[in-house]
Structure 1
Amino acid sequence: MLATDDPFELAERYQNQRGQWVVGGLETQVFWPNRPQFIRFENLDFLLQPAVVDGQHRSLPAIAIRANGFGLTVNEGRAAVMRLATAIAWRESKKVDIVMWGGGSSPFRVGRMLNNAITEFFSDENLHVPQSEEARKALAYYREGLSLGNPFYSFLGFYKAFARSLPNGRERGPWIEHALLRMTDREAISRREELQAQGDNISEYLATQGRHAIAHAEREDIVDPDDPDDHQRIHLDKPLMRHLAELAMDERLGVPPPSSYEGEHLYELEGFRTLFDNEQLGALRRGELAQGREYMLPDDFYVMARKGKSCVHLGGMRMTAGGMDQGKLGVRLESPNGKVALEFWMDFRDERLIIDPIGGCVLLNKKRESRSDIQSEISLEQFKFLLYCNGSLEIWSADRERRMGKSEAYMLPANWSPDFAGHQRTLTGLNELLQEMPEIGDDPQ
């Protein structure tokens, strides 16, 4: 997708294409978009369909793909839908259960809606693409654990994800003993302490009183589906088994936990890092430039601010200055018409894209001699206020095909607040001027 692509407009066009559609109806606890939305995953195009309640017609939220558009069979299309469902479940740590399949020449709706949460916009950030078949299978088992309502089979799903990560059964006990010391999940830690207080060997307990007791009906020490105590015990064990699966998948299969995306925020400078070699990056991570090395940045970028479904485009901007500033690589961009300037800083020591919309995003002159002047001023006003409202700055390549960097959601400094009433008055005045400005002979923006 390009930086300027609207995922809702793309969805409208995509769902009108005829072909061999595969549709997976969902029961999910994830906040699902409340209108059709287009997303791309594994270089495939997907349609997220909302739940629909229209009189007597009720349908499930769904993931759809036009399989033949990518040379896929129906079964291959279903597998692709499953992989996306797994990536969403992993990121959100919530149930995403495919309960019904449909399809045809169009993405026809399926099923009957139950209890599902909705949102105006579904983020396609941080959807993990597994790098091995073992990782893919472990993630699939993990989604199964999240999605099953029965506590016994949910526990088994997490155990299978764990076992796939540690296929050598003899290795699991010692590994668990060490992993218990580095757990971070509060529910898992609480259950660990309860079991330790009872004197249980946790690795043995999870295998015999959990996995084996659930899977083997011929044993004496089975879990009883009609015993509420067994239901409660396994319900309490689930967070512990789930967290151990997460730790094992991270360590052995290279599946980072979703929390690491925000914790390590490597996305902030992801595209910029590819511009430099290891020697250059090593120096930047020390807050300096490598001696005798030239650092080259593109001349042109595309700039926008985004928060959920809302985005404001400053458009194409040219680099006019750059250099090190207190250990950070600073860049100044200006709009082609010389109206707007934006400064940002790249701190490779902490993997941060730093912005200052208050002082580092400015109007260079107050000329209002053309529609371009006024439109630039309107865009800047909207751009800054979207950032003030916890928006993120996104820097893209000039062709809008690759995101170079994205800041975290901007937080206003303490004891400072924007003038929202003044913002609205300014926009009203600028739009009135724009309407009065003739279009003939106007210079391009």
Structure 2
Amino acid sequence: MTAPYIPHYFGEAVERKLRSRMGWLTAGVASSVPWPKDDVWVRYDGEDYIIRGTEQNGKPSPPCISVACDRVNVDDALSKVYRFTSIIGWFNGGYVDVSGYTHGSHPILYGDPRNVFSTIGVFGKKAFDCNHMPLVRDENTRKALAFYREGRRLQHVHDSYAFLSFYKVIESQFADGRQKGAWIDANLDALTDNTAARVAELRANGLDVGMHLFESGRCAVAHATAGKDIVDPDIPSDRRRLSADLDVIAGLARLYILKELQVPDAHESYRVRDRLEPWSNLMDSRTLQELREGKVPATVDGLQGQKVAVGLWPDGAVPGLEDMTMHVDAIGPGVVRVVLFNPRLTICLVFVLDFKNGRIHTQLEDGSMCQTDKVQPDETDVRAYATYFHRVIGNAVAELAIGGLEPVDCEVVIPVNIIPQNPDTAIEEAVERFRQSKAGQ
């Protein structure tokens, strides 16, 4: 499934966007995923979404999502928000669900404190991240995610309806009930932890687990026919049984979306996504295949001399590092070590491209400021290098962009045996030391 680079914009860019048109719909949401403190504008699948932060002008604010909306297309705009909340909740391992909305000429916030809330906040100006969230364009997948969103929202609120929503994730994908049952039976052993324990318990009691989930769960919740099994809200044992089975059907629903519909969440995306895929067309197919197989190709000419902008997500290129030139330093089994130089050859940055595993690593310890008798770093160089170094060592994500291709993101640097300084302070101290050294010459 396609999971493209998703631009994120903060601060004044968001304000300009909100002032750029008349006509907005704002949906208040209930969220169990980390929510930003400040507004964030993301562009996902060609559409603009403004994630409204939990703080506005220093005061608490309801979590909302604003989208462009003409007066006659309210339902279309609201449906777009529903679809977006489904995928953003799934991707982040929780739920985001619309609790109400308002629309008008301006992006008015919607707030009902009983139903619009975020159970987890995000601290930091630019901590919100839904980059590489998969695009959902298949109708069956959209429905499955919608039912999953309902189920997650209802968990710990109403077990019966949560169970029914999770069951519908799977049921909605089959026209033949026997095929649905066969899939459930075939995948029960793929469940882990407490869900596997519940399956083992049911089997130990001599139950057909798939049939039990259907009759004592799905049908008993959905129907209340006289003389038939139902989930009686006044019978504690009925409620306990359904609550115990809820984890099983929730686990199966999640497994179906991951395995059968192949929609990765953030953890799965991190595990399987090939960071270097945007650069695959820079080399001939044979060279790329050899690298991915862990072999040593004769050359990687497609990388040599490439112009690279070195940036920090989500801000883009670091001033002073926008025009680096790539030089191939070494080639190993499936990996290429490259060195980037700025035009004046006063900044050197080193990266290892691991094509076999689809990763790119920044080698902070090998980068440096450079000087010769003829060329020495200036203050712009010092600030650029210090910004890159101290922010990356402070866990910022470095990214490299070549031309109009999607940026490739580096693995986060985990400092060992050091306590990183505050990046802002460290950068200014580096610049001040440079100024003092120049003044003393």
TM-based fold match above 0.5: yes
Work out the CA distance in 2 between the residues paired with 1:37 and 1:350: 32
Query: Partner of 1:140: helix, strand, or coil?
Result: helix
Kept in 2, the 8 Å contact 1:24–1:100? The answer is yes
Work out the CA distance in 2 between the residues paired with 1:292 and 1:201: 59
1:222 aligns with 2:223: no
Q: 1:12-23, aligned counterparts within 5 Å?
A: 12-23=15-26
Decide whether aligned partners of structure 1 residues 190 and 4 sit closer, same or farther in structure 2, where only a CA change above 3 A counts.
closer
Which residue of structure 2 lines up, in the alignment, with residue 430 of structure 1?
431
1:403 maps to which of 406, 425, 429: 406
Shift in Å at residue 110 of structure 1? 0.9
Deviation track 1:147-197 (CA, whole Å, cap 9, x = no partner) reads: 12311111111111112234421012232222122234x232232222223
Which residue of structure 1 lines up, in the alignment, with residue 394 of structure 2?
389
Decide whether aligned partners of structure 1 residues 113 and 419 sit closer, same or farther in structure 2, where only a CA change above 3 A counts.
closer
1:347 aligns with 2:348: no
Once structures 1 and 2 are overlaid, which stretch shifts more, 40-49 or 290-299?
290-299
1:140 aligns with 2:141: no
Which residue of structure 1 lines up, in the alignment, with residue 337 of structure 2?
330
| Count of residues paired in the alignment | 426
Query: Partner of 2:413: helix, strand, or coil?
Result: coil
1:252 aligns with 2:260: yes
Decide whether aligned partners of structure 1 residues 421 and 166 sit closer, same or farther in structure 2, where only a CA change above 3 A counts.
closer
2:215 maps to which of 196, 208, 211: 208
Work out the CA distance in 2 between the residues paired with 1:362 and 1:424: 19
Kept in 2, the 8 Å contact 1:17–1:106? The answer is no
Query: Partner of 1:193: helix, strand, or coil?
Result: helix
Kept in 2, the 8 Å contact 1:330–1:343? The answer is yes
Shift in Å at residue 86 of structure 1? 0.7
Kept in 2, the 8 Å contact 1:287–1:347? The answer is no
Work out the CA distance in 2 between the residues paired with 1:201 and 1:244: 16
Decide whether aligned partners of structure 1 residues 335 and 206 sit closer, same or farther in structure 2, where only a CA change above 3 A counts.
same
1:232 maps to which of 229, 233, 240: 240
Query: Partner of 2:184: helix, strand, or coil?
Result: helix
Query: Partner of 1:332: helix, strand, or coil?
Result: strand
Decide whether aligned partners of structure 1 residues 16 and 257 sit closer, same or farther in structure 2, where only a CA change above 3 A counts.
closer
Q: 1:167-206, aligned counterparts within 5 Å?
A: 167-184=175-192, 186-206=193-213
Shift in Å at residue 423 of structure 1? 9.9
Work out the CA distance in 2 between the residues paired with 1:118 and 1:421: 22
1:262 aligns with 2:270: yes
Decide whether aligned partners of structure 1 residues 199 and 354 sit closer, same or farther in structure 2, where only a CA change above 3 A counts.
same
Kept in 2, the 8 Å contact 1:61–1:113? The answer is no
Which residue of structure 1 lines up, in the alignment, with residue 371 of structure 2?
365
Decide whether aligned partners of structure 1 residues 429 and 29 sit closer, same or farther in structure 2, where only a CA change above 3 A counts.
closer
Work out the CA distance in 2 between the residues paired with 1:32 and 1:349: 35
Work out the CA distance in 1 between the residues paired with 2:45 and 2:420: 43
Once structures 1 and 2 are overlaid, which stretch shifts more, 8-17 or 274-283?
274-283
Kept in 1, the 8 Å contact 2:352–2:363? The answer is no
User: Percentage identity across aligned positions?
Assistant: 25
Work out the CA distance in 1 between the residues paired with 2:166 and 2:270: 24
Work out the CA distance in 1 between the residues paired with 2:420 and 2:63: 40
Which residue of structure 1 lines up, in the alignment, with residue 383 of structure 2?
378
Q: CA RMSD in A?
A: 3.5
2:45 maps to which of 32, 42, 45: 42
Deviation track 1:359-385 (CA, whole Å, cap 9, x = no partner) reads: 2x2212288988x72222122123212
Amino acid in the other structure paired with 2:84: L
Work out the CA distance in 2 between the residues paired with 1:311 and 1:118: 28
Amino acid in the other structure paired with 2:49: F
Decide whether aligned partners of structure 1 residues 263 and 167 sit closer, same or farther in structure 2, where only a CA change above 3 A counts.
farther
Which residue of structure 2 lines up, in the alignment, with residue 110 of structure 1?
110
Which residue of structure 2 lines up, in the alignment, with residue 60 of structure 1?
62
5+ residue gaps, structure 1:
439-445
Decide whether aligned partners of structure 1 residues 297 and 272 sit closer, same or farther in structure 2, where only a CA change above 3 A counts.
farther
Shift in Å at residue 337 of structure 1? 2.3
Once structures 1 and 2 are overlaid, which stretch shifts more, 153-162 or 9-18?
9-18
Which residue of structure 2 lines up, in the alignment, with residue 51 of structure 1?
54
Which residue of structure 2 lines up, in the alignment, with residue 441 of structure 1?
none
Kept in 1, the 8 Å contact 2:287–2:299? The answer is no
Query: Partner of 1:118: helix, strand, or coil?
Result: coil
